[in-house]
Amino acid sequence: MPEEAEQVIENAPLEIERQIRGGETRTLYLGETAAHRVLFVVVTRGGEELRVVTAFPADSRSRRFYTSQKGTTDVQDAGNA
pLDDT tens by residue, 26-52: 999 999 999 999 999 999 998 889 999
Domain map of the chain by residue range?
A: 2-71
Q: Which residue has the higher pLDDT, 13 or 70?
A: 13
Backbone CA torsion sign across 32, 33, 39, 41: negative
Q: In percent, how much of the chain has pLDDT > 70?
A: 88
**Whether 59 contacts 79, CB under 8 Å:** no
Averaged pLDDT score across all residues of the chain = 90
Q: What is the pTM of this model?
A: 0.85
What three-state secondary structure class fits 3? Answer: helix
CB-based contact 75:65 (threshold 8 Å): no
Strand, helix or coil at 32?
strand
Average pLDDT over residues 67-71: 91
